[in-house]
Copies of this chain bind each other. A is one copy, B any other.
Amino acid sequence: MPSNGIDHRGRQVSLLARMAHEEATSTQVGELIAECEADSDLTADPTSDTATNLVRLRRDYDRATRLPSALVGEEAELATQAQHHWAKARAADDFSQFQPWLTKVIDLMRRKAECFGWADGGEPWDGLAEDYEPGCTAAWVETVFTPLRERLQGLLDRVMGSRTPPSNAFNELCLPVDAQERFVRSIATQIGFDFDCGRLDVSTHPFCSGFHPTDVRITTRFHENNLNDAIGSTMHECGHGIYEQGLRRDMAGLPLGSAVSLGIHESQSRMWENQVGRSESFWHWCHGELNKTFGSAVAGLSFEDVYGGANIVRPDFIRVEADEATYNMHIMIRFELERLMLKGELDAADVPTAWNERYREYLGIDVPDNTRGCMQDIHWSMCAMGYFPTYTLGNLYSAQLYEAACVAMPDLEAGYAKGEFAPLRTWLNDNVHVHGRRYEAAELCQVATGSPLSADPLMRHLESKLSAIYGL
């Protein structure tokens, strides 16, 4: 956005946010929901599509009506302004420029959390997280994250001590962007992203926008010296896209035609990016495809070079560039800090110190500056607090759902080596996508896998793979 356009944009988004909120929370909508609830024909079978939609619509309506329109408008305007000042402060590596905006965001987020409230024994964070991960509380996240962190730290110590790390040769190649684009398009097609119902374009930060199951837009990015990033980003966004394309068309716009939560959405992207896209079997297929597309430029790479190169683990500062094992540490740090900020126990001014202390403790690295530290992510400047844990929940749901798919289809992974990915996509269609918001995330996990969410599947996945690759 042009620098002088901020004020107008702030007023516009504030107005639109207020108008949309007033439409969604109008008395008329409430009366229509109540009228449907009172109609026993519609609610007689509580598991029917209509009754299920009604329960979710009621929940959304009741939650939305807890927020005054003025606060909704204020948040939209603050997010626009704070994001702008965050970008400037980050470019200048000057936290003092961002600090007053972060203070305003914390204040507004605390007021917003008060509007929603939280259960007995809960805390302000819970009130906000509900927007991203219905049913999720900080206490529950802590019970999932704590054992995960302990086991991850043990695994990382062993990986860092390995005397036989994989070769990095694959990541040092320089490959033309146009050939990379052809390559990732063919992968997207092969794993089941439907180009008649979607597009793939380029952006600085990859993302997915789903307007309808027939119109799903994803983006990826290319760097000459990082094919792995293009493959990972593309498969990640394809995972989001395949979820959106797999939602029920007859329920478009209704809860049963919508995604469960950000955590479950992320489980779909992470599954194709990591469980599939960094697996041994996938690389048996992909190694052959690399040779077909890039010819002599990759001829010197063995299977071990490409598979190992796609699975290198190294603690570093930047979340979005983190590997599969260290990624979750970045999330835990953010979760701990935003929990404290919302409780009023951590001021904006103290965020850099608290951030850097945790990076030293959890990842053993010294953060060199705030641009590569607490100002690296856009989220807080967008008034998105309570959001970060959904990334790690996504990793956990992904591993657990994937284990269940492998149990149901013992030959699943063997198929990847032949380029066969349809069985996994179909399993996800049938066990996740088709349900829309019928279940909340924790319940869906139980229904689809038979167990509540646990850190075990993710740790089994990482420990088994990295032990083999790093010779632990």
Interface residues, chain A, CB within 8 Å of chain B? 1-5, 7-9, 12, 194-199, 211-212, 214-216, 252
Once the chains bind, are B5 and A212 in contact (CB under 8 Å)? Answer: yes
Once the chains bind, are A195 and B2 in contact (CB under 8 Å)? Answer: yes
Inter-chain pairs besides A4-B196, A5-B197, 10 sampled, C-beta below 8 Å: A2-B195, A2-B196, A2-B197, A2-B214, A4-B194, A5-B211, A5-B212, A7-B214, A9-B211, A9-B215
| Cβ contacts under 8 Å, A211 to chain B | 5, 8-9, 12
Q: Closest 8 A-B residue pairs measured CB to CB?
A: A5-B215, A8-B212, A4-B214, A4-B197, A5-B214, A4-B196, A2-B198, A2-B197
| Cβ contacts under 8 Å, A252 to chain B | 8
| Cβ contacts under 8 Å, A215 to chain B | 1-2, 4-5, 8-9
| Cβ contacts under 8 Å, A195 to chain B | 2
| Cβ contacts under 8 Å, A199 to chain B | 1-2
What are 30 sample pairs from A and B whose C-beta atoms fall under 8 A apart? A1-B199, A1-B215, A2-B195, A2-B196, A2-B197, A2-B198, A2-B199, A2-B214, A2-B215, A2-B216, A3-B196, A4-B194, A4-B196, A4-B197, A4-B214, A4-B215, A5-B197, A5-B211, A5-B212, A5-B214, A5-B215, A7-B214, A8-B211, A8-B212, A8-B214, A8-B215, A8-B252, A9-B211, A9-B215, A12-B211
| Cβ contacts under 8 Å, A4 to chain B | 194, 196-197, 214-215
Q: Tell me which of A2, A7, A8, A12 has the highest count of chain B C-beta atoms within 10 A of its own C-beta.
A: A2
Q: Give Cα A214 to B4, complex, Å.
A: 5
- Give the shortest distance, in Å, between A436 (CB) and chain B (any CB): 17
A216 nearest in chain B by CB position: B2
A195 nearest in chain B by CB position: B2
Q: Tell me which of A1, A194, A214 has the highest count of chain B C-beta atoms within 10 A of its own C-beta.
A: A214
Q: Give Cα A350 to B4, complex, Å.
A: 51
Q: Give Cα A364 to B457, complex, Å.
A: 75
Q: Give Cα A34 to B265, complex, Å.
A: 51
Q: Tell me which of A1, A5, A212 has the highest count of chain B C-beta atoms within 10 A of its own C-beta.
A: A5
| Cβ contacts under 8 Å, A212 to chain B | 5, 8
Q: Give Cα A212 to B4, complex, Å.
A: 10
Q: Give Cα A86 to B215, complex, Å.
A: 20
- Give the shortest distance, in Å, between A195 (CB) and chain B (any CB): 7
- Give the shortest distance, in Å, between A363 (CB) and chain B (any CB): 38
| Cβ contacts under 8 Å, A2 to chain B | 195-199, 214-216
- Give the shortest distance, in Å, between A185 (CB) and chain B (any CB): 14
- Give the shortest distance, in Å, between A412 (CB) and chain B (any CB): 28
Q: Give Cα A7 to B196, complex, Å.
A: 13
Q: Give Cα A12 to B212, complex, Å.
A: 10
